[in-house]
Chain A
Amino acid sequence: MAGAAGPGSGPGSAGRDADDSLYPIAVLIDELRNEDVQLRLNSIKKLSTIALALGVERTRMELLPFLTDTIYDEDEVLLALAEQLGDFTGLVGGPDFAHCLLPPLESLATVEETVVRDKAVESLRQISQEHTPVALEAHFVPLVKRLASGDWFTSRTSACGLFSVCYPRASNVVKAEIRQHFRSLCSDDTPMVRRAAASKLGEFAKVLELDSVKIEIVPLFINLASDEQDSVRLLAVEACVSIAQLLSQDDLEVLVMPTLRHAAEDKSWRVRYMVADKFSELQKAVGPKITLNDLIPAFQNLLKDCEAEVRAAAVHKVKELCENLPIEGRETIIMNRILPYIKELVSDTNQHVKIALASVIMGLCTILGKENTIEHLLPLFLAQLKDECPEVRLNIISNLDCVNEVIGIRQLSQSLLPAIVELAEDAKWRVRLAIIEYMPLLAGQLGMEFFDEKLNSLCMAWLVDHVYAIREAATNNLMKLVQKFGTEWAQTTIVPKVLVMANDPNYLHRMTTLFCINALSEACGQEITAKQMLPIVLKMAGDQVANVRFNVAKSLQKIGPLLDTDALQGKVKPVLQKLGQDEDMDVKYFAQEAISVVAQRLRKLDFPVKDSEEHRAPGPDKNHFLRPGMLGEDTGKFLSLMSRQHKETERLAWLLRGQ
């Protein structure tokens, strides 16, 4: 039956024709013309479906002409169209017919909206690869020429992106024409076009013969690099990277370097910024010799540029620049020609520069080795650790591991730790807060033993800080430390100290014990919670301060899920019931809330139900949040946002109670 049917003939195709007539192109076109933009957009996005339904021939003969003729639409629709057409070659019958796609894309490449144009150019570049060399010269190159000599700047801008894709496969005569067109666009009257040409100069240079690069591209490069508009000049810097890669050292010296030297001292900071930003690429492109003679002096100037933006961009490249220097003599070059500038930048007036420096400076340790690091870099790290800008300090602290590798933990502890400890006792609570936040990170980098020795006492001291936000952060920090070092560590070093605070004369410290238990119970696990924490919590139910008592209720609710039936039934419940009769209404409220949660938990322990439900039990009740001043004791990520509010509500409760 169907076995005899070849493509396009036999009984199968008759059925297909019938299908096609069901959906005449008129209907589809109607869709593409619909008044609602969204519907047009949908239709365009399904253009491949339409084309498939129509078949290759009708797509070529009817759909594409329609698209070409009626291109006046919202940019969003045009963008979708430009994108679709890039993948359309198969739908119009393969590479032999790829040129059919050129007319609509040509119009799209001339529209005003940049994103549409860029997409059209991208699709054209894609399709150009599918053209045979003959078709390329017959269809594609003429299109590029038309665009290149278009009236309005948009088409000329688009043309700039198409030269490099058709050049390699064109004949010599055509190649000369293409070069000619590119040349004229480089000196176009409109800066937009010159910018487009400048941005494609490098790409175009790469496909040209070396002679043409020297004779034609270099003069263009020099012209663009001295354009009246800095937006053009800075693009020439980018092109410089590509051109430099193509030329020999001697040619480079003569043809490119004078311009590059000039660019590094351009009067516009944008151009200098570009040089700084592309520095690593430039360094690789020009090779070690020119780097030493030319780029390093230029780099020194960029490091002390009058604009902070430029300095910051240059600073970002310090590490890469140093890494890429030839190993022989590298140390001397860095020590003598780079480091003096870096030393000054440590006390730069602009914080962005300092932040940038702090993010790369640690990378120099491995390059310079132990002795240099200790002698020259450590003082800089120390200075930056004391910088007024927290991001500078953060960048240093979060890269401490690099230093650690080079100079070892002992050395590090002797030199940097005092600075960290000093910050930990800073008079500004925000600074202390920032240091606390680095603690888990430091703990990971320094290891348990070292941590216990040097930092543990700090972490405990924060628990009794006079600022609530710090105590809260300290609590949270303990939890993270326990997650890092494990329960055994918690049991020996943390838990006893925390529990001792339950007897503190200051009720705020007693509450901290409860907050710590809330935070730690889960990380410490069932056993520690039940055996060590629970008795203390229960004991505190008799505290004379109501704030402590209602926090006991909250803590019991919190650790409830970790306790077994016996403990809940025999120990927790009676205490909560007693608190439920408390004279203070807040205590009563929280006790009752905890009772209901615990009761729920007990029911489930007696009659185990599905897992999914069990998890939900201890979650905070909605009412809980409705009450003023009761914002979560659980230390979630909103912590820092809420901390101030916390402090106030705490104080408020205190005042109301008149204690």
Chain B
Amino acid sequence: MQTTDATSNEQQELFCQKLQQCCVLFDFMDSVSDLKSKEIKRATLNELVEYVSTNRGVIVESAYSDIVKMISANIFRILPPSDNPDFDPEEDEPTLEASWPHIQLVYDFFLRFLESPDFQPSIAKRYIDQKFVQQLLELFDSEDPRERDFLKTVLHRIYGKFLGLRAFIRKQINNIFLRFIYETEHFNGVAELLEILGSIINGFALPLKAEHKQFLMKVLIPMHTAKGLALFHAQLAYCVVQFLEKDTTLTEPVIRGLLKFWPKTCSQKEVMFLGEIEEILDVIEPTQFKKIEEPLFKQISKCVSSSHFQVAERALYFWNNEYILSLIEENIDKILPIMFASLYKISKEHWNQTIVALVYNVLKTLMEMNGKLFDDLTSSYKAERQREKKKELEREELWKKLEELKLKKALEKQNSAYNMHSLLSSTSAE
């Protein structure tokens, strides 16, 4: 019997029965068992999806409980251990969810339910509560990208419709991220959660709450240290830039944070960081720029002289950006002295010809901005190098002397102990 064939009252009854029917779970690891029953459930789920999306007024108050129960029964499960214990999301194919033929329809149904014009959050909140959301968030660790994609939309809708759950959702995401950064380094749904956050941040009211700023500084920035940054960097950078567009005074701490976590050995990540810095510079206010130009350009000058040509190239591309150029020009007296030595050096030494050509252009641009300063720096370059070398020697000297002092003290201590000893023994002898 089809839901569409019955009269309204019967329909409602049937709807609930079919919901209950769909709470039965099947073992998809065993691909040959219960084939007929699986097919029946699939067909029923399809009917349910169609029923809620084509009919108005069918999501009545009494149905909520059964609906949420059916959804929970199907999607909430402990995710199995990964087939591949060394699963590398960048390299390996994900293990797809075996029960997808059913779960997909359940998610589809869930979304239609949430998006239905009849849907009433005030009733639904009795069932879609903190515990529900908590379980939903745990599913974001699913290895199956199709499932995560559904989850993303679902969570976004819930965040939009359930005002009472918003703070809770943010806090839980916060916890997931902290655990990801500091404990497990593994969570499959980071990119999806960040994508949702991107739109959440976009809607933050001004002035930003302390909670949000803390999230930025203590969660989003440290997240740049993650091993698998490449998997979610675009979303992460988007979130960061959203924050800065909301509140420009965050620029300085954000850039200092990025500089603190600047990659030391991973060139691929370094290129990502440079990309993010450029995104930030695109929206930076000139007053904020002044606050961070010194540490920032010290880092950029290191990147420019990186022996990894992609890093050097990415950094040198900053000089193709009109807005960044204008910022540099305004502050040329500060920036040129920082940049000069590395640019000068690599223009002579870099192994990659493209980089050398790019550096020549950059040097030319900088020279045009302030020829006098450029000439001064050129003529003092050698003296500067020598001064650095001398400083280096002095440092070595200092440490050597310290070592000697330490030895002498240790010796003295021994001697004095010995002297005390002999002193005591001589007095007792007297």
| Contact assessment for A267 and B398 in the assembled complex, using a CB-CB cutoff below 8 Å | no
Contact A19 B408, beta carbon cutoff 8 Å: yes
- B419 at the binding interface (Cβ < 8 Å): yes
Q: Is the CB of B401 within 8 A of A22?
A: yes
Taken together as a complex, chains A and B put the C-alpha atoms of A49 and B408 apart, in Å, by: 12
Residues of A within 8 A of B218 (CB): 112, 152
Cβ proximity bits A239-280 to B, threshold 8 Å, 1 near / 0 not: 000000000000000000000000000011110000000000
User: Which residues B398-422 have CB closer than 8 A to chain A?
Assistant: 398-399, 401-403, 405-406, 408-410, 412-413, 415-416, 419-420, 422
Report yes or no: A74 in contact with B260, Cβ–Cβ below 8 A.
Answer: yes
The answer, yes or no, to whether A95 is at the interface (CB within 8 Å) is no
Is residue A431 within 8 Å, beta carbon to beta carbon, of the partner chain? no
User: Which B residues are in CB contact (< 8 Å) with A543?
Assistant: none
A192 with B416: CB separation less than 8 A: no
Give residues of chain A (294-348) contacting chain B, Cβ–Cβ below 8 Å.
307-309
Other-chain contact of B409, A52, A230, A268 (Cβ < 8 Å): A52
Counting CB contacts under 8 A, is B387 at the interface? no
Using Cβ atoms and an 8 Å threshold, which residues of chain A touch B403?
49
- Interface flag for A16 (CB, 8 Å): yes
Considering the complex, give the chain A residue whose CB is closest to the CB of B394. Answer: A27
Report which of A2, A22, A192, A307 forms a contact with B183, defined as CB distance below 8 A.
A192
Most buried by A among B131, B410, B415: B415
Given A12-B416, A27-B398, A31-B398, the answer on whether A192 and B78 have CB atoms closer than 8 Å is no
- With A49-B402, A112-B182: A7-B298 Cβ-Cβ less than 8 Å: no
* A586 → B minimal CB distance (Å): 41
Determine how close the nearest CB of chain B comes to the CB of A368; give it in whole angstroms.
32
CA distance A55 to B405 in the complex (A): 11
Given the known interface contacts A49-B403, A153-B178, A192-B179, the answer about A23 and B398 at a Cβ–Cβ threshold of 8 Å is yes
A192 and B178 in contact, given A19-B405, A230-B78 (Cβ under 8 angstroms)? yes
> Which of A7, A46, A153, A267 makes the CB contact (< 8 A) with B399?
A46
A620 to chain B minimum Cβ distance, whole angstroms, is: 34
At the interface, yes or no: A619 with Cβ under 8 Å from chain B? no
Q: Does B212 contact A (CB under 8 A)?
A: no
Chain A residues 21-41 with CB under 8 Å of chain B are 22-23, 27, 31, 35, 39
Interface size on B, residues (CB 8 A): 33
A50 at the binding interface (Cβ < 8 Å): yes
**Would you call B416 and A49 a contact (CB within 8 A)?**
no
> Is the C-beta of A113 less than 8 angstroms from some C-beta in chain B?
yes
On whether the beta carbons of B405 and A23 are closer than 8 Å, the reply is: yes
Q: How far is the CB of B203 from chain A (nearest CB, A)?
A: 25
In the assembled complex, B326 has its CB within 8 A of some CB on chain A: no
| Beta-carbon contacts under 8 Å, B316-350 to A | none
| 1/0 contact string of A1-16 vs chain B (CB within 8 Å) | 0111111000010001
A323 to B409, CA, bound (A): 58
Contact: A53 with B175, CB < 8 Å?
no
Q: Mark B147-183, 1 if CB is under 8 A from A, else 0.
A: 0000000000000000000000000000100110011
Interface string of A214-258 (1 = CB under 8 A from B): 000000000000001011000000000000000000000000000
Q: Nearest CB to that of B260 among chain A residues?
A: A74
Expressed in whole angstroms, the minimum distance between the Cβ of B419 and any Cβ of chain A is 6
Most B-side CB within 10 Å, residue of A19, A112, A230: A112
Q: Is the CB of B402 within 8 A of A6?
A: no
- Bound-state CA distance A192–B81 (Å) is 22
Interface residue A133 (Cβ < 8 Å from any Cβ of B): no
Instruction: Identify which of B131, B218, B405 gathers the most chain A CB atoms within 10 Å of its CB.
Output: B405
Alpha-carbon distance between A227 and B121 when the two chains are bound, in angstroms: 28
* Contact across chains for B402 and A112 when beta carbons are under 8 A apart: no
Kindly state the separation between the CA atoms of A49 and B406 in the bound complex, as whole angstroms.
6
With A53-B409, A192-B175 in contact, is A114–B78 under 8 Å at CB? Answer: no
Asked if B178 contacts A228 (CB within 8 A), the reply is: no
A53 to chain B minimum Cβ distance, whole angstroms, is 5
Q: Check: B207 CB closer than 8 A to any chain A CB.
A: no
Q: Does B230 contact A (CB under 8 A)?
A: no
B residues in contact with A5, CB < 8 Å: 416, 419
Q: Give the residues in chain B near A19, CB-CB below 8 Å.
A: 405, 408
The reply on A191 being an interface residue by CB < 8 A is: yes
Contact B298 A35 (CB under 8 A): yes
A228 and B131: CB pair below 8 A? yes
Distance A320 CA – B419 CA, assembled complex (angstroms): 61
B134 in the interface (beta carbon within 8 A): yes
Residue on B with the closest CB to A190? B175
Question: Which residues of A sit under 8 angstroms from B395, Cβ to Cβ?
Answer: 31, 39
Q: Return A58 CB to nearest CB of chain B, in Å.
A: 13
Contacts of B383 in A (CB 8 A): none
| A46 surroundings in chain B (CB, below 8 A) | 399, 402
Contact A3 B422 (CB under 8 A): yes
- The distance from the CB of B233 to the nearest CB of chain A, in whole angstroms, is 20
CB proximity of B111 to chain A, nearest CB, Å: 26
Q: In the complex, what's the smallest C-beta–C-beta distance from B211 to chain A, in angstroms?
A: 12
Q: Which among B179, B399, B416, B423 has the highest number of chain A CB atoms within 10 Å?
A: B416
* B-contact bits for A67-97, CB 8 A (1 contact / 0 none): 0000000100000000000000000000000
- The reply to whether A3 and B423 contact each other, CB–CB distance below 8 Å, is yes
Bound Cα distance A309, B403 (Å): 54
The answer, yes or no, to whether B222 is at the interface (CB within 8 Å) is yes
Q: How far is the CA of A435 from the CA of B351 in the complex (A)?
A: 52
Question: In the complex, what distance in Å separates the CA atom of A308 from the CA atom of B405?
Answer: 62
Complex partner residue of A23 from B179, B401, B415, CB under 8 angstroms: B401
Chain B residues near A268 (CB-CB < 8 A): 78
Chain B contacts of A6 at CB under 8 A? Answer: 416, 419-420, 423
What are the residues of chain B within 8 A of A3 when measuring CB–CB? Answer: 419, 422-423
B414 smallest CB distance to A (angstroms): 11
Complex formed: what's the CA distance from A195 to B175 in Å? 12
- Please indicate the chain A residues that have their CB under 8 angstroms from the CB of B422 in the complex: 3
CB distance from A56 to the nearest CB of B (A): 11
Q: Is the CB of B78 within 8 A of A267?
A: yes
Residue of A nearest to B218 (CB): A112
Specify the chain A residue showing the minimal Cβ separation from B399: A46
Q: Which of B78, B178, B401, B415 contacts A269, CB < 8 Å? A: B78
Q: Report A12 CB to chain B, min CB distance, Å.
A: 6
> Which of A12, A49, A269 contacts B81, CB < 8 Å?
A269
Q: Does B80 contact A (CB under 8 A)?
A: yes
Interface residue ranges of B362-418 to A (CB < 8 Å): 395, 398-399, 401-403, 405-406, 408-410, 412-413, 415-416
The smallest C-beta distance from A15 to any residue of chain B, in angstroms, reads 9
CA of A376 to CA of B395, assembled, Å: 74
Query: Which B residue's beta carbon lies closest to that of A9?
Result: B416
Q: Which B residues touch A39, using CB under 8 A?
A: 395
Using Cβ atoms and an 8 Å threshold, which residues of chain B touch A153?
Answer: 178
Distance between Cα atoms of A112 and B226 in the complex (Å)? 14
Contacts of B179 in A (CB 8 A): 191-192, 231
Partner of A12, one of B78, B401, B412: B412
CB distance from B72 to the nearest CB of A (A): 13
Q: Which B-chain residue is minimally distant from A50 (CB atoms)?
A: B402
| Bound CA span A55–B402, Å | 12
Interface residues in chain B, defined as those with a beta carbon under 8 Å from any beta carbon in chain A = 78, 80-81, 131, 134, 175, 178-179, 182-183, 218, 222, 260, 298, 395, 398-399, 401-403, 405-406, 408-410, 412-413, 415-416, 419-420, 422-423
Which 3 pairs show the lowest CB-CB distances between chains A and B? A309-B81, A114-B182, A52-B406
Query: CB within 8 Å of B: which residues of A?
Result: 2-7, 12, 16, 19, 22-23, 27, 31, 35, 39, 46, 49-50, 52-53, 55, 74, 112-114, 152-153, 190-192, 195, 228, 230-231, 267-270, 307-309
Additional A-B contact list (9), CB under 8 Å, known A31-B395, A307-B81: A3-B422, A3-B423, A31-B398, A46-B399, A49-B406, A50-B402, A52-B406, A52-B410, A55-B409
Mind listing 25 A-B residue pairs with CB under 8 Å?
A: A2-B415, A2-B419, A6-B416, A7-B416, A16-B412, A19-B405, A23-B398, A23-B401, A23-B402, A35-B298, A39-B395, A49-B402, A49-B403, A50-B402, A52-B406, A55-B409, A74-B260, A152-B218, A190-B175, A191-B175, A192-B182, A195-B183, A228-B134, A269-B80, A270-B78
